[in-house]
Amino acid sequence: MIVRIAQYPLKQRLLLGIASTAIILLAQQALTLFAHGRLTFLFLSATLPLITVLFGAWSGLLLLLSGMIFGALWMQPVGSLAVPQRDDQIVLLAYVVVSAFLVAAGHQLAKVAQRAGRAEAATQNAADRLLQVERDARHRFDVALNSAGVPFFILTPVVRQGRIAELRWDYLNEAAAQLFNQTAAVVIGSSTMYVRPTGWDANVLLARLAPLAERPGREAFDVRVQGANGEQWFQVVAASLGGSVVAWCGDVTPRVRAEQALSEADRRKDEFLATLAHELRNPLAPIRQVAEILEQPGLSEDRRAWCINVLRRQSAAMALLLDDLLDVSRITRGALKLRKEAVALREVVEEAIEVARPILVGKAQELVVKPPTRPLHIEADRLRLAQVLANLLMNAAKYTPPGGRIELTATADEHEIVLSVADNGIGIEPDKLSAIFAMFSQLNSDQHRQGGLGIGLALSRSLIELHGGRLTASSTGRNRGSCFSVHLPASSRVFPPPAPTRPATASRSPVQKHRILVVDDNVDAADAMTAFLEMEGHEVRTVYSGEEAVDLLAIYNANVILLDLGLPGMSGIDVARRVRATPSTNDVTLIAITGWGQPQDRASTAEAGFDFHFTKPVDVQQLSQAIETAGTVL
């Protein structure tokens, strides 16, 4: 107790010393009244150890001296410091000896008290530092986990009857707390059976995390959550930690959706390739059959004309198919440019109807056209807008039974210009309306599969958006028809251009005859082109390689060369450069006829010296016009 008292602050020690000394003096004074002061001064020695411990050895010695003086004054003769009696002297000497011993003992106790105090202070300081280190570590731990922005939590198992019955939330960082509808203070200490993130399954958490609380290990798994924001996916990475489980979780919904989109895109790709093969075989089958018919002897003129019409229709169908694919590619790359001009809406509608007329006539469908009340001119790409309307008409015809009704309506007001194609066909389920504009989209129901690559509506929507408009679809359900509407901004409306002055009709000059060399490694294509040119009255030679073309030009003075680019060995580009480098042939008209029609392909042919570049299948009228530009004639 004395050691503990010695560690008190000075003010407390001073008050305690004064109080103890006063008590001793009062007790001594009381005894003096009865014992006349004899030996009462000895009570002072009782305070010597305490005073020495509290205030040091000098205070104890001062008190010892005070006691000697006090005792001498009260011994006979009273009031005098002289102590003549021997027994009093012995008592006074004993007091001095005992008091000196007590002062020495008190001094030693003071040292012990000081060392104990320093030790206790050091221990307390160490404990305080350890506590501060723990607090700092916990603070750094919290800061690190909270700054990560990734939900982190610690779970402790609750064991009943020898097995883990539930898990308890022991720690949550700020990101994890945001997954709950309650505060972290409420969540911590609660069971996962009753408190958990919105939409999470308690049984899934227990089944996946409980084994990690029983044995060391690590596991990662995805959790599907149906929350307020729809379907979400979280990836949980958990590990054992001394009987508990620590876990991180992250929202991987974008990744899962991307994987699902890739899977869907892969499925659509397979369907697209299968449909593409089907769509290419459709026109190829009649073309091949017509070729067999044309070989038959005694073919009538009517049958021959029918075969030619079939070939034209089917080759045009293949050309349209390839054009759609190329247009999609250009739009995807941002390479498609509109050629806008002032066009009459009536003319655009007529062109679209002309394209769709064969399928409408073939299914005996009624087409009703409701034009605007007044003539209307708009600034648009005439070809592309007609392409969109034709696509909508053909789609309506495909999905409308024979004998059905299709309406094409055009209206205009101060806000927009609307072109609508409505039918009474099989219709579209409301939940499928948002999917029909997706690229390569095909509705799954068998009654909806009417052929096509599934790119028509996606292409049409992109073309209308390039015009600053939008393409919408509506339907009240299956077998209730559908309506597709092109909405163009009112700002696209323009005044009609002035009518051009008609020049006097000139008589058509006869076709000029030329010496033409046809070069193509596709024998059928080369021979077919040769036959056409010979029917036009031209002199034609045909070779099937670049090397043959160079050799023939040394002896054949052609003034027009129709040259394929993808020749085996010496390419068409190489042949063109050789022709331009030879003085005898450098002025010949070079016409590229190829399947390559990208801008870089046209740049390559222009650099090689070609005069014209046509893509297969070539428009014979344009080809004839190009041939007529050649200088030398027969």
**DSSP readout, 278-322?**
HHHHHHHHHHHHHHHHHTSTT--HHHHHHHHHHHHHHHHHHHHHH
In this model, does residue 278 exceed pLDDT 70?
no
End-to-end Cα separation, the chain, in angstroms: 137
Per DSSP bridges, beta strands 416-423 and 405-412 are antiparallel
* pLDDT number for residue 369: 92
What residues have CB less than 8 Å from 634, skipping those under 6 apart? 513, 514, 515, 539
In this model, does residue 447 exceed pLDDT 50?
no
In this model, does residue 601 exceed pLDDT 60?
yes
Q: Which token pair is 436? A: 């029909």
Cut 0.75: pTM above it: no
In this model, does residue 25 exceed pLDDT 70?
no
* pLDDT number for residue 581: 93
* pLDDT number for residue 330: 63
Q: Which token pair is 331? A: 């739009």
In this model, does residue 577 exceed pLDDT 90?
yes
Chain mean position to CA 360: 44
* pLDDT number for residue 505: 41
* pLDDT number for residue 282: 62
Choice between 447 and 252, residue whose per-residue pLDDT is larger = 252
In this model, does residue 451 exceed pLDDT 70?
no
Beta-bridge partner residues of 543:
519
In this model, does residue 274 exceed pLDDT 70?
no
Q: Which token pair is 487? A: 């909405």
* pLDDT number for residue 125: 84
Phi first, then psi: give them for residue 467, nearest 5 degrees.
-80, 0
Q: What is the CA radius of gyration of the chain?
A: 54
In this model, does residue 37 exceed pLDDT 60?
no
Mean pLDDT over residues 574-595, rounded?
91
Domain boundaries, the chain: 2-122, 149-251, 260-332, 339-494, 515-628
* pLDDT number for residue 501: 44
* pLDDT number for residue 271: 63
Most confident of the ranges 145-149, 168-172, 417-421, 430-434? 417-421
Choice between 548 and 267, residue whose per-residue pLDDT is larger = 548
Distance (Å, whole) CA 431 – CA 355: 31
Distance (Å, whole) CA 65 – CA 100: 10
In CATH, which of 3.40.50.300, 3.50.50.60, 3.40.50.2300, 2.40.50.100 is domain 515-628? 3.40.50.2300
Mean pLDDT over residues 573-597, rounded?
90
Dihedral (CA of 98, 99, 100, 103) sign: positive
Beta-bridge partner residues of 560:
516, 589
Distance (Å, whole) CA 406 – CA 422: 6
For the stretch 497-552, pLDDT in tens is: 654 444 444 444 556 789 999 998 888 778 888 888 988 889 999 999 999 999 99
In this model, does residue 617 exceed pLDDT 90?
no
Q: Does domain 339-494 have CATH number 3.40.50.20?
A: no
Q: In which band, very low, low, confident or very high, does the pLDDT at 220 lie, cut at 50, 70 and 90?
A: confident
- Give me the residue label for tokens 């091949």: 288
- Asked whether the beta carbons of 221 and 236 are under 8 A apart, the reply is yes
For residue 598, the one-letter residue type is Q
* pLDDT number for residue 516: 94
Q: In which band, very low, low, confident or very high, does the pLDDT at 241 lie, cut at 50, 70 and 90?
A: confident
CA nearest neighbour of 485 among 461, 450, 454: 461
Phi first, then psi: give them for residue 152, nearest 5 degrees.
-135, 140
Average pLDDT, the chain: 78
- Asked whether the beta carbons of 416 and 487 are under 8 A apart, the reply is yes
Distances in Å between the Cα of 132 and the Cα atoms of 117, 126, 138, 171 are 22, 10, 10, 20
For the stretch 339-377, pLDDT in tens is: 888 888 888 898 888 878 878 888 889 999 998 877 788
- Asked whether the beta carbons of 481 and 422 are under 8 A apart, the reply is yes
Q: Which token pair is 566? A: 């993808």
At CB < 8 A and 24+ separation, what contacts does 317-322 make? 317/282, 317/283, 318/280, 318/283, 318/284, 318/617, 319/617, 321/279, 321/280, 321/453
For the stretch 132-178, pLDDT in tens is: 887 777 777 666 666 666 788 888 888 887 788 888 888 877 777 77
* pLDDT number for residue 631: 62
Q: Packing angle between helix 86-148 and helix 48-55, nearest 10 degrees?
A: 40
In this model, does residue 429 exceed pLDDT 70?
yes
Mean pLDDT over residues 2-29, rounded?
67
Q: Does domain 149-251 have CATH number 3.30.450.20?
A: yes
Q: In which band, very low, low, confident or very high, does the pLDDT at 285 lie, cut at 50, 70 and 90?
A: low
Most confident of the ranges 79-88, 187-196, 301-310, 406-415? 406-415
Q: Which token pair is 453? A: 């690559």
Mean pLDDT over residues 315-333, rounded?
68
Of the CA atoms within 13 Å of residue 286, those in its CB half-sphere come to 16
CATH architecture assigned to 260-332: Orthogonal Bundle (1.10)
In this model, does residue 620 exceed pLDDT 90?
no
For residue 100, the one-letter residue type is A
Give me the helices (H) in 190-300, please: 202-214, 253-294
Distance (Å, whole) CA 234 – CA 151: 10
For the stretch 561-576, pLDDT in tens is: 999 988 888 999 999 9
Instruction: State percent of the chain over pLDDT 70.
Output: 79
Distance (Å, whole) CA 338 – CA 522: 34
What residues have CB less than 8 Å from 127, skipping those under 6 apart? none
